[in-house]
Every structure is written in structure tokens, then in C-alpha cells.
């Protein structure tokens, strides 16, 4: 009986102990959930505060831009301002704000051969998942909380490539004015392709000499191979003269100089990106992967051609698909909001599709923008045309200023900076030599066949305007895992700062020093020849390759993909009449003889005034003589005249009661007084 009583007491004790243990575990679990929820809430607040910092940076930049434009200050561009504000915020975050250390942080040592991306930790039977954030040096372990705060304001590099870069690159292609671009197409391609490759190898060879010098004197703390030097040469060969081009646009600098700089910067960003990817793909056979091997080099060259051509084809194909959708679904024009949304999504998906297929999204979205500006834009409703232009202009402005603000911030928030004085000085010299090797020899060769020569002052200005910007920064921050990449990133930041502040700020003074014309109407057809005589440029100034392409595009592609251009019944052979009638839209017959182009509203040749009413065309030249034309639909328009019409642009078009009157305008003329304006209207009515 005594033993049974003791057993029952022991059972009760065990039961009570188990119950207490369960209650304690439930209480601990509840407390753990509360702590987890508090940490999640604090993390959410911290993330909101970090984003608020960047929003305030952009707001402050915009207000300062307004002040500078109001005061007409050109010594510092908006991108330079954004970088300065980013620097100030980075200093505050790095040195003025300290987060109290968390006593719950535990440092344990574990010997493994590699750093896993995901780590599962067993704590009292519960498994917790931890993700890799990056390497921390031994002297930063005690400042882990401050490092965590700085790491939160450091974005994933993929954010730049997938979110911030697409609108910048697309806007460059979508807003391209084709008139002067195609007039200088051969020169632009030479600077963008040949010049970028030459610059890459000049910089790479020079920097490899600096690396060998650093090895000799013991200033190199890690591996740095020749392929790393070539990679550095590729990323700093990407020019982004956004500051200079903004000043050019404001001062109305010579249109050909603007086209050369803008066209080169648009294309050489794409070339530099593909070139850097090809250098990374260089893999010789054998144990030493950094030796020279002809087959590996040819393979990298093949990758360069394959990636660039594939990205080009994908971008053009997406633009054509968008044009076909807008061409066939004409009812979509009645809903401009849906039309704009579809246009936006198709444009952005081009970048992501190219990246997912192993191509380069930058190249794809650039040529997608150019294709959509040429075809899709003509099929959009008037509301969608305005919306798409304004939307991408806004996204480009915000993304560009955000990147430049972030550049200033990362100078102090990035943990693994490697600043080497020899490498930095060598980089500045190499960038200067690479730019000079790009501009001067190629300009000399191009002038041998150009009628409108690239003068020496233009060459000096192009040399000075080779700024580095968003693309250089995005390529350098994409991979900072090794010692060599960290040194490249730190040096790239300094190169961008110097070129934006010094070269961008000195643009106005450089224009004055080189005596380059400003206040030039970009619509005018005159240029200053090498002998100093002002001449009228002709249609033969356009690149011959483009003229061949234009004839095919104007007669066949434009009518198929848009509602503008001549009907296919007028351009197809007679035997293809049924097919031509099937492919030609009814709007094409309605718009026959009218110019429908995003860049072109003015039909003007040698001062003639053309008046079209119904099927009869009446022209008046400067002397007042009248000539009557044949019916518009009865004769095919000469392709050279059509090209001049396509590439000319202005806003001086007047439409009265179905009458299309195109007037020659000269910016040097003063506005007409009211009586003269009334007299001209009466004359127009009489002629009509």
C-alpha cells in the first residue's frame, strides 16, 4: 500500500512537471512570436525610412534644379547636384548615426569550405533559415548593427538592371530624332563600335602596366589579371554625356555635333555591356584560365557578335509585334489608358525577355524603342502619343537622378571599397588616352569620305564630353565579390564624379573656347563648310546605307505595319494586286499623300509652299509663281523627295477646312503683325 501510494505521488509529480514544461514551452513560443513580429515591424519601418531618404533626395534635387534653371546657372547639372546630395546623406549615415548593438547577436565559428547561400540552424529542435548577405572583415564584427543599417540602403545590383536602366535606355531610343542621326549614321557606328573596342584595349593595356607596377612595389593585395584590366576598360568606355547633352539642348548647339555625341553614347552603352560580357566569358582551356589563347579569343568574339545580333533581332521583333497589335486592334485607340498600358508593358517586357533568353536587355530595349518610335507611334491615338512620351520622359528623369544620388551614397555606405592611388591615377590617364584614341584617329579616317567634315573644334568637344555615368556605375556594381572588382568599383566612382563635375560643369566654357555655334535651329538645313562658307545640305548628305533601307521601308514596311505611307497597291507589282489590297488598311487610302511620322510635320523643299486640296496640289515658290500638280494618287512619289519629307521636322503646319497648307518658316524672320497675318489668311482662302 505504501509503495502504491508513492507510485501515485510520483506519477502526479511527473504529470505536473510535464504540464509545467508544456506551459513554459507554449509561453516561450508565444514570446518568440511576439519578438518576431516586433522585429518584422521594426524592419518594415526601417525600410520605409530608407526609401524616404531617397525620395527626399530626389525632391531636394528637383527644387534645386528649378532654382538653377531660374537663375540660369550652368556650371553644375542636375546629375551633379544629385551626387552631391547623395554624398552628404552618405556621410550622415556612415558617421553620424549609430545603432545600439543587439545583445542577442551570437558569433559562432564553423569551418566550411564554401559560404552557402542559405543556412539552416537547429536551435532547440527548431530550424531557422538564414541567407548570405556578404563578407564582413574581422574588425567589423563589433559594428554589425551599423553595418546592417548601411547594408539596407545598399540596393541589390539587379534593381539597377531590371528596374532603373530599362526606362533610361528605352527613352534614348524612343526620343531619338532620326534626321541628324541617320545623316551621321556611318560616323556614329564607327565611334560606337570601333571606337569603344579601341578604347577598351587601350585602357586595358595601360591598366595592366599599372597592375604590374603595383605588384613590383608590393601595393597589390590580391589577384588582378589581364582579363580584369580589359573588363575595366570595357565598363569605363561606356560614355553617358547626359550633362553635356542637356546643356547642348538648352543652348541649341550645332545639331550634327549633338547627333554625334548622342548617337555614340546611346550605342556605345550597348556595345560596352556586350563587350564586358564577352570578356567575362573568355575561358582558355587548361589550369590557367588567364593565359592568351587564340581559340578562346575567337569564341569570345563570336559570343559578342551572337549576343549583340540576337539582342538586336529580339528588340526589333518585339517592336514589330507591338506595331502589329496596334495596327490590327484599331478599336484599342478608343481606350487610350489601355493602349498606353499595353505599350508600356510590351516595352518593358523586351528587356526582361532578352535577359531571360541569355541576351542583353540593354541592346534589345534600345532597338525596341527605336522601332516603336518609327512604327508603333504612328498607330497610337493622339492621347496615347502624348502619354507615352511624357511617361518615359518622367521615368528617365527619375531613374537617372536616382542612380546619380545613389552613386554619392555608395561612396560612404559600401563596405568593401579598395582605393589604390596608383590604380586611380592610372585609371584617369587611361581614360584620357582611350578617349583620345577613339576620337582623333577615327575622325581623321571619317573625314576622308565625309562631305560635311568633323572639324577640329568638334573633335575637341567630343573628347571633352566623354563623361561616364549610369551605365559605367551599373556595370561596376553588378559584381564586387573579388578584390579586383572592388578596386574597379571604387575607382569607377571617382572617375564618374570627376567627369560629371569637372567636364560637365565646364561644358559652357569649352563651347566658348572652341567657338562652337550656339542658338542654332535644329530644323535648318544649312551648315558651315570647311572653307567657312554657309551651305545648304542636300539629301545626299544622308548615309547611303540608310537611303537604300529607306526605299524598302517607305514602300513596303511602313504600309504593312502602320496606317501611313503609300498604299501597297501603288508600290507592289501589278501581279500582287490582291495581296496588296488585303494588306493595305483603309486608313492608308485616307492618309495617302499626307505625312504621318513622329519626327516629321513639315514638307519643305527650297522655300516652296505646297497646298494640297482634295486630289489637286498647288505650289507657290518664293517668287509667287504657281504650279499645279497631278493627282496625288495618280503618280508615285519620288523616294528622294519622300526621304526629305520624312527626315524634315517642324511644327509650322496649318489645316483649314480639309486644306493642308505647309508654310516655310525662318527663325530669323520677325513675327508678322496682326494686319499681315489677316491678309495672309485672306490670300489663303482665295487660293483655296
Read off the pLDDT of residues 245-255 as tens digits, 9 standing for 90 and up.
Answer: 777 877 788 88
Radius of gyration (C-alpha) of the chain in whole angstroms: 32
pLDDT attached to residue 624: 41
pLDDT, mean of residues 374-383: 88
Is residue 301 one of the residues assigned to a domain? Answer: no
**pLDDT at residue number 158:** 79
586 in a domain, yes or no?
Answer: yes
Say if residue 281's pLDDT is above 90. no
Domain count, the chain: 1
* Residue 75 clears pLDDT 60, i.e. is over it: yes
Q: What pLDDT is recorded for position 455? A: 92
Query: For residue 576, is it within any domain?
Result: yes
297-325 confidence digits (pLDDT tens): 788 888 888 999 999 999 999 999 998 88
Mean pLDDT of the chain: 75
589-623 b/e (C-beta count within 10 Å ≥ 16 → b): eebbeebbbbbbbbbbeeeebbbbeeeebbbbeee
Per the domain annotation, does 377 fall within a domain?
Answer: no
The 3-state secondary structure of 609-625 reads EEEEECCEEEEECCCCC
Top pLDDT among 286 and 676 is at 286
Q: Is the pLDDT of residue 683 over 60?
A: no
Which of the given ranges, 286-290, 421-425, 553-557, 684-688, has the highest pLDDT on average?
421-425
Q: Is residue 580, in this structure, part of any structural domain at all?
A: yes
Could you tell me the sign of the dihedral formed by the alpha carbons of 33, 36, 37, 38, in that order? positive
Q: Tell whether 567 is covered by a domain.
A: yes
CA distance 413 to 409: 6
d(CA 368, CA 353): 12
334-362 pLDDT, tens digit each: 888 999 999 999 999 999 999 999 898 88
Q: What is the pLDDT of residue 561?
A: 81
**Which segment of 94-108, 122-136, 468-482, 593-607 scores lowest on mean pLDDT?**
593-607
For 72, the grid coordinates are: 540660369
Query: What are the tens digits of pLDDT across the range 433-477?
Result: 999 999 999 999 999 988 888 999 999 999 998 888 888 888 888
Closest CA to 562 of 522, 532, 592: 592
Instruction: Specify the pLDDT at position 618.
Output: 40
Q: Which pLDDT band holds residue 21 (cuts at 50, 70, 90)?
A: low
For residue 206, the model assigns a pLDDT of: 95
Q: Residue 560: inside a domain, yes or no? A: yes
Q: What is the C-alpha separation between 167 and 170, in angstroms, rounded?
A: 5
479 by Cβ neighbours in 10 Å (0-12 / 13-18 / 19+) ranks as middle
Helices and strands: H and E segment counts in the chain = 29, 9
For residues 489 and 125, which has the higher predicted lDDT (pLDDT)?
Answer: 489
> CA-CA distances (angstroms) from residue 258 to 30, 174, 179, 374?
66, 16, 12, 20
**Per-residue confidence band for 71, with pLDDT thresholds at 50, 70 and 90:** confident
Helix spans in 613-687 (H): 639-647, 674-687
HSE-CB for 81 with a 13 A CA cutoff: 20
pLDDT tens figures, 155-212 = 777 777 888 889 988 998 898 877 778 888 889 999 999 999 999 999 999 999 999 9
* pLDDT tops 90 at residue 390: yes
pTM of the model: 0.74
pLDDT digits (tens, 9 = 90+) for 181-197: 888 888 999 999 999 99
Residue 581 CB coordination number (10 Å): 12
Greatest extent of the chain over all pairs of C-alpha atoms, in Å: 136
3-state secondary structure of 521: coil
Q: Under a CB-based contact definition with an 8 Å cutoff, are residues 380 and 333 in contact? A: yes
What is the pLDDT averaged over residues 390-398? Answer: 92
Highest mean pLDDT among 82-96, 292-306, 556-570: 82-96
Collect all residues with Cβ–Cβ distance below 8 Å to 202 and sequence separation of at least 6. 233, 430, 433, 434, 437
Which of residues 290 and 618 earns the better pLDDT score?
A: 290
* All three cell numbers of 394: 518622367
Residues 526 and 533: their CA atoms lie apart, in Å, by 10
Does 368 score more than 90 pLDDT? yes
Domain interval for residue 586: 542-591
Cell of 399: 531613374
Residue 236 has pLDDT above 60, yes or no: yes
Tell whether 563 is covered by a domain. yes
pLDDT of res. 13 = 58
Amino acid at each position: 500500500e505504501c509503495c502504491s501510494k508513492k507510485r501515485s505521488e510520483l506519477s502526479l509529480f511527473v504529470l505536473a512537471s510535464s504540464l509545467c514544461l508544456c506551459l513554459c514551452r507554449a509561453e516561450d513560443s508565444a514570446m518568440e512570436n511576439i519578438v518576431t513580429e516586433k522585429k518584422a515591424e521594426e524592419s518594415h519601418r526601417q525600410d520605409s525610412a530608407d526609401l524616404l531618404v531617397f525620395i527626399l533626395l530626389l525632391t531636394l534635387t528637383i527644387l534645386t534644379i528649378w532654382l538653377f534653371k531660374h537663375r540660369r546657372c550652368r556650371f553644375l547639372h542636375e546629375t551633379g547636384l544629385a551626387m552631391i546630395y547623395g554624398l552628404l546623406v552618405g556621410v550622415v549615415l556612415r558617421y553620424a548615426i549609430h545603432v545600439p548593438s543587439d545583445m542577442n547577436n551570437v558569433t559562432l565559428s564553423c569551418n566550411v569550405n564554401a559560404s552557402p547561400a542559405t543556412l539552416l540552424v537547429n536551435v532547440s529542435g527548431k530550424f531557422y533559415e538564414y541567407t548570405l548577405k556578404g563578407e564582413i572583415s574581422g574588425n567589423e564584427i563589433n559594428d554589425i548593427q551599423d553595418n546592417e543599417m548601411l547594408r539596407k540602403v545598399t540596393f541589390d545590383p539587379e534593381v539597377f538592371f531590371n528596374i532603373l536602366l530599362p526606362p533610361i535606355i528605352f527613352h534614348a531610343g524612343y526620343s531619338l530624332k532620326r534626321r541628324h542621326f541617320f545623316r551621321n549614321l556611318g560616323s556614329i557606328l564607327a565611334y560606337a563600335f570601333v571606337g569603344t573596342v579601341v578604347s577598351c584595349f587601350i585602357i586595358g593595356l595601360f591598366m595592366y602596366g599599372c597592375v604590374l607596377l603595383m605588384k613590383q612595389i608590393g601595393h597589390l593585395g590580391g589577384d588582378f589579371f589581364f582579363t580584369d584590366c580589359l573588363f575595366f576598360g570595357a565598363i569605363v568606355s561606356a560614355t553617358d554625356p547626359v550633362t553635356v547633352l542637356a546643356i547642348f539642348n538648352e543652348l541649341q548647339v550645332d545639331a550634327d555635333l549633338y547627333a554625334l555625341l548622342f548617337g555614340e553614347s546611346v550605342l556605345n552603352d550597348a556595345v560596352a555591356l556586350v563587350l564586358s560580357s564577352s570578356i567575362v566569358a573568355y575561358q582558355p582551356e587548361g589550369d590557367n584560365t588567364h593565359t592568351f589563347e587564340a581559340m578562346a579569343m575567337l569564341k569570345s568574339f563570336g559570343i559578342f557578335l551572337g549576343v549583340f545580333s540576337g539582342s538586336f533581332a529580339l528588340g526589333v521583333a518585339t517592336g514589330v509585334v507591338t506595331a502589329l497589335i496596334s495596327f490590327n486592334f484599331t478599336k484599342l485607340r478608343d481606350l487610350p489608358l489601355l493602349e498606353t498600358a499595353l505599350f508600356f508593358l510590351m516595352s518593358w517586357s523586351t528587356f526582361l525577355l532578352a535577359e531571360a533568353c541569355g541576351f542583353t536587355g540593354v541592346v534589345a530595349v534600345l532597338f525596341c524603342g527605336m522601332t516603336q518610335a518609327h512604327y508603333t507611334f504612328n498607330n497610337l491615338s493622339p492621347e496615347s502619343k502624348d502619354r507615352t512620351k511624357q511617361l518615359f520622359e518622367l521615368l528617365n528623369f527619375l531613374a537617372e537622378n536616382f542612380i546619380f544620388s545613389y552613386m554619392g551614397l555608395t561612396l560612404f555606405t559600401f563596405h568593401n571599397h579598395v582605393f589604390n592611388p596608383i590604380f586611380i591615377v592610372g585609371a584617369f590617364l587611361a581614360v584620357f588616352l582611350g578617349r583620345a584614341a577613339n576620337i582623333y584617329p577615327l575622325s581623321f579616317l571619317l573625314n576622308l569620305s565625309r562631305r560635311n567634315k568633323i572639324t577640329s573644334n568638334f573633335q575637341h568637344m567630343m573628347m571633352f564630353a566623354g563623361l561616364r555615368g549610369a551605365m559605367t556605375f551599373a556595370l561596376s556594381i553588378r559584381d564586387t565579390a573579388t578584390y579586383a572588382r572592388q578596386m574597379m568599383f571604387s575607382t569607377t566612382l571617382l572617375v564618374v564624379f570627376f567627369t560629371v563635375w569637372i567636364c560637365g560643369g565646364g561644358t559652357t566654357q569649352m563651347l566658348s573656347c572652341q567657338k562652337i555655334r550656339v542658338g542654332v535651329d535644329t530644323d535648318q538645313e544649312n551648315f558651315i563648310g570647311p572653307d567657312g562658307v554657309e551651305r545648304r545640305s542636300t539629301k545626299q548628305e544622308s548615309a547611303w546605307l540608310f537611303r537604300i533601307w529607306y526605299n524598302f521601308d517607305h514602300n513596303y514596311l511602313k504600309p504593312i505595319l502602320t496606317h501611313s505611307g503609300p498604299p501597297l497597291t501603288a508600290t507592289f507589282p501589278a501581279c500582287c494586286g490582291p495581296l496588296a489590297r488585303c494588306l493595305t488598311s483603309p486608313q492608308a487610302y485616307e492618309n495617302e499623300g499626307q505625312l504621318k511620322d513622329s519626327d516629321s510635320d513639315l514638307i519643305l523643299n527650297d522655300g516652296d509652299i505646297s497646298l494640297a486640296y482634295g486630289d489637286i496640289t498647288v505650289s507657290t515658290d518664293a517668287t509667287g509663281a504657281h504650279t499645279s500638280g497631278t493627282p496625288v494618287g495618280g503618280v508615285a512619289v519620288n523616294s528622294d523627295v519622300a526621304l526629305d519629307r520624312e527626315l524634315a521636322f517642324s511644327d509650322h503646319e496649318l489645316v483649314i477646312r480639309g486644306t493642308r497648307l505647309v508654310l516655310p518658316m525662318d527663325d530669323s524672320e520677325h513675327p508678322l503683325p496682326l494686319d499681315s497675318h489677316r491678309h495672309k489668311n485672306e490670300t489663303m482662302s482665295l487660293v483655296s
